[in-house]
Amino acid sequence: MAAITQGNKSASDSLVTADDTGESSLDIQGILHLLLHRSWIILLLALIGGMAAEAYVRQLPVLYQSTTVIEVDTRERKPVNIDDKNDQNLQDPEVVETILENFRHRALMERVAKALDLAHDPKFLGPTPPPTATASDSIVATLLASSYVALQPRTRLVNVVFVHRDPATAQKIADALVEQFLQQNIDQKIRATESQNDVLRQKADELKAKLTRSEEALQEYKQKLQTVSVEEQRNLVELKLKALNADLSAANTERITLEADQQTVKNAGDSVPQLFGITSIAQDPQVAAARQQVKTAEDELASLLQRYHDKWPAVIEQRAQIENARRNLKEAVLSAPSRLTARYKAAVAKEQNVKYAVAEEEKAMLDLESKMIPYRALLRENESDRSLFETVLQQLKQNTLALGVQPASFHVVEPATPAKVVAGKRLLIVIGAGLAIALLSAAGFVGIFLVNSSIRTVDDAESTLGLPVLAAVSTMRKPRAPGQVLSLVHDPGSPIAESFRTLRSAILLLGREEKGHVILFTSALAGEGKSFVAANTAVAFAQQDLKTILVEADLRKPALSKQIFALGDRLPGIADYMVGKPAPIQSTSIKNLYVMPAGSRVPNPAELLSNSHFNEITEWLKHDFDRIVIDTAPLNVVSDTLNIVSCASIICLVVRSNLTPRKAVRRAIELLRRAKAQPDGIVLNGLPRSSGIGYHYYYSSGSKYGGDETYGSSYSHDDQKSEQGSSRATGGEDRLERGKNRRAEQGVKIGD
């Protein structure tokens, strides 16, 4: 007993809050099932809306439409070869849409009305023409409302459509719309060109006067400088300055080189080899000439040695000349430093002279630059004025040439067709009204579904509460007599009866089949069907040849003895026993089933149930009965049930589908936890009869299980005896096992 009613507190907490996040998730399957379940209402409302729209459409006059097709050129056609940077690319969707929007403007409609004299056309105005004061506005409004323009997909063709009661009028106005649009387009371009020409003429006169003034100013400045071209003078000075700068660079390089060689000569002293290694010494003209003499003499000696021997007189004489040439070379090298000093002084003087010449030319250049500043400004202004003047003159000539030629950005592909009856709009109104009402009604059902916080399905109950669903019971038809709520007796082949057999098998799996098994049924709120479930469960045990007693522990609103079993109102029972009066057990018409009524009315039911007398009752009943089924008060309404839960072996929490809020059930589980008890499972009551088995798992009125064709169709009391072993193979056992596994993972024991 303690293993069932007591458990880890943290595990109980996890049961209460098992699916807080799942509560806020969107139940797509539930919404689809709801829409399928309510589809007949949605279709009925859509049909009514469509019929109403049809009645409205029948009152509308018959309309005719005529269509004119025009083509939009990808670029505007130019009458002559004119380079216009402002022309519109008619291939641009925005440009095309802007142009077509002109068809919807009031100005075009006024042109059409004036061209066709619609103010005096009885076919257009109809039988009741508007007053003269508002005739123009009414005509324009009618034209705007009855015409529309659409670009054919993936083409440059435009449909211009006009709708009217008279077919001839529709065709005539469709033609007039295109004609006036084309003429309006031409007029707009002509007006724009004329306006542009006026501006260009005015601008040309201004630029001409400005150009004359700038030319006069430039000529006066040239006369002041007494030169034809200041620019040419500047170019000559610039070329001369560049040449002087090159000379200065060369003179500077020469001076630096000679200065460095002088320092090397000082370091070399009278050493001929070191002096000869200095570049300036080696390049000295006298040194170079002496070195050439030495080389010539040596070459001549080599030639003689090839013909004569070493002692030949010519060879001896040639060697004497070589020695003389070498002495001359040595003297030239030793005298070279004096000549180097003279060259250095000449290089310094040259550098100074070039620097002076450069300074003079730079001064002349600065003087010319100061004169060039105003000259360039006057020249730029003159050139700018001339360029603008020539551009304006060119544009003016082009506009004047194009003024008399009509541009052709559009042309008619198909004139207005004979008017045809407009039928699609009527059908569209009817279909649109039906679809709109269907969508609104579906949205209404979905909205009600989303705001409903109740538990709806088996999966919903298990994922939200963390408890197994022992059985799912469908909604019962309203009984004609109180006793007809016992489905196992009055309709044993019904799906509801099968649900209670499933519940019986699930309860048997929760504990040992020992004598005195106490099953307590309670609920979170009133009206969830716990008395109905408790009574049918007791009948199920009794039909299994188990001696069963149904204890009516709801002392405030008892419903078993009077409303279900028709035993009478306020028979002696539990309340009487607790105050020391006799409380006889009432037998019923069902074999093996007995009832202990609630007893007389008492002012303090909670206090009576809180003492140990109720424990005495259950202990006493265990000796005489195989199963004790207790019907109790709602947990969230009164505290009566919390005082007696310790007597129960199994606690079943009845939850009504689509009615009981999640928070109420969680509150009830929390109250049981505080009372050191834990519900063993959920009985989901009141499932819609038309729901599918895929949605609620256990129950489907359309399925073959429990129907008239298969199991349970000829159910009898003899069959009841054989189902004690077979009832354990029902779908509820699998769900019970899954619930036990989930609770075992959370640390809650589910068996002794």
At 297-306, the pLDDT tens digits run 778 878 877 8
Q: C-alpha 440: how far from its chain's center?
A: 25
Which of 141, 367, 375 lies closest to 241 in space, CA to CA? 367
Of the ranges 12-21, 489-498, 607-616, 693-702, the best mean pLDDT one: 489-498
Max CA distance (Å), the chain: 181
Q: How far apart are CA 736 and CA 509, in angstroms?
A: 8
Give the range among 33-42, 73-82, 284-293 with minimum mean pLDDT.
73-82
* Residue 589 to residues 445, 483, 617, 622, Cα–Cα distance (Å): 45, 11, 23, 22
- How would DSSP label each residue in 565-632? S---SS-S-HHHHHTT---PPEE-SSTTEEEE---S--S-HHHHHHSTHHHHHHHHHHTT-SEEEEE-
Q: Is the pLDDT of residue 488 over 50?
A: yes
Q: What are phi and psi of 376, to 5 degrees?
A: -65, -40
Position 322 scores a pLDDT of 80
Q: What is the mean pLDDT of residues 641-662?
A: 90
- Four-point Cα dihedral 42, 47, 52, 53, nearest 10: 100
Q: What are phi and psi of 2, to 5 degrees?
A: -65, -30
Q: What are phi and psi of 586, to 5 degrees?
A: -95, 130
Residue 44 structure tokens: 């009925």
Which of 589, 544, 217, 220 lies closest to 385 in space, CA to CA? 217
Q: What is the mean pLDDT of residues 25-41?
A: 77
Band (pLDDT 50/70/90 cuts) for residue 129 is: low
Position 631 scores a pLDDT of 93
Position 127 scores a pLDDT of 62
Q: What percentage of the chain has pLDDT greater than the value 90? A: 11
Radius of gyration of the chain (CA): 59
Q: Is the pLDDT of residue 652 over 80?
A: yes
Q: How far apart are CA 565 and CA 558, in angstroms?
A: 12
Q: Is the pLDDT of residue 650 over 90?
A: yes
Burial class from Cβ neighbours inside 10 Å (0-12, 13-18, 19+) for residue 134 reads exposed
Which of 83, 106, 99, 109 lies closest to 156 in space, CA to CA? 99
Band (pLDDT 50/70/90 cuts) for residue 703 is: very low
SS3 395: helix
Residue 512 structure tokens: 């040992």
Q: How far apart are CA 64 and CA 86, in angstroms?
A: 41
Position 632 scores a pLDDT of 92
Q: What is the mean pLDDT of residues 275-280?
A: 70
Q: How far apart are CA 683 and CA 458, in angstroms?
A: 9
Position 120 scores a pLDDT of 81
- Residue keyed to tokens 């430093």: 337
Band (pLDDT 50/70/90 cuts) for residue 132 is: low
Which of 384, 372, 365, 367 lies closest to 221 in space, CA to CA? 372
Position 744 scores a pLDDT of 46
Question: For residue 669, which amino acid is it?
Answer: I
For residue range 437-458, what is the model confidence (pLDDT) as tens digits? 889 988 888 887 777 777 878 8
Report the number of secondary-structure helices (H) and strands (E) in the chain: 27, 13
Neighbours of 311 (CB within 10 A): 7
DSSP-derived letter for residue 691 is: -
Position 75 scores a pLDDT of 54
For residue range 588-628, what is the model confidence (pLDDT) as tens digits? 888 999 999 888 888 888 888 887 778 888 888 888 899 99
Position 229 scores a pLDDT of 64
Band (pLDDT 50/70/90 cuts) for residue 721 is: very low
Contact 704, 675 (CB under 8 A): no
Band (pLDDT 50/70/90 cuts) for residue 30 is: confident
Q: What is the mean pLDDT of residues 35-49?
A: 86
Q: What is the mean pLDDT of residues 62-66?
A: 81
SS3 275: helix
Which of 339, 363, 246, 351 lies closest to 285 in space, CA to CA? 339
Which of 752, 564, 582, 560 lies closest to 2 in space, CA to CA? 752
Average pLDDT taken over every residue of the chain: 75
Q: How far apart are CA 652 and CA 732, in angstroms?
A: 15
Q: What is the mean pLDDT of residues 409-413?
A: 75
* Residue 607 to residues 574, 612, 638, 640, Cα–Cα distance (Å): 13, 10, 12, 8
Position 536 scores a pLDDT of 92
Q: Checking DSSP bridges between strand 627-631 and strand 548-552, what pairing results, if any?
A: parallel
Q: How far apart are CA 266 and CA 671, in angstroms?
A: 120
Q: Which helix (H) or strand (E) holds 226?
A: none
Q: How far apart are CA 253 and CA 262, in angstroms?
A: 14
Q: What is the mean pLDDT of residues 231-254?
A: 78
Burial class from Cβ neighbours inside 10 Å (0-12, 13-18, 19+) for residue 217 reads middle
Q: Is the pLDDT of residue 512 over 80?
A: no
Residue 233 structure tokens: 């003078």
Contact 631, 534 (CB under 8 A): yes
Q: Is the pLDDT of residue 540 over 90?
A: yes
SS3 551: strand
Which of 441, 624, 421 lies closest to 34 in space, CA to CA? 441
Q: Bridge-partner residues for 421, per DSSP?
A: 64
Contact 333, 340 (CB under 8 A): no
Contact 707, 35 (CB under 8 A): no
Q: C-alpha 480: how far from its chain's center?
A: 57
Give the range among 152-156, 261-265, 662-666, 696-700 with minimum mean pLDDT.
696-700
Position 681 scores a pLDDT of 92
- Residue keyed to tokens 């589809």: 39
Position 18 scores a pLDDT of 41
More confident residue, 81 or 721: 81
- Residue keyed to tokens 């008017």: 419
DSSP E strands in 453-541: the ranges are: 469-474, 517-523
Position 88 scores a pLDDT of 54
Q: Is the pLDDT of residue 379 over 70?
A: yes
Neighbours of 694 (CB within 10 A): 10
Give the angle 447-450-456 at the CA atoms, nearest 5°: 125
Q: Bridge-partner residues for 160, per DSSP?
A: 68, 149
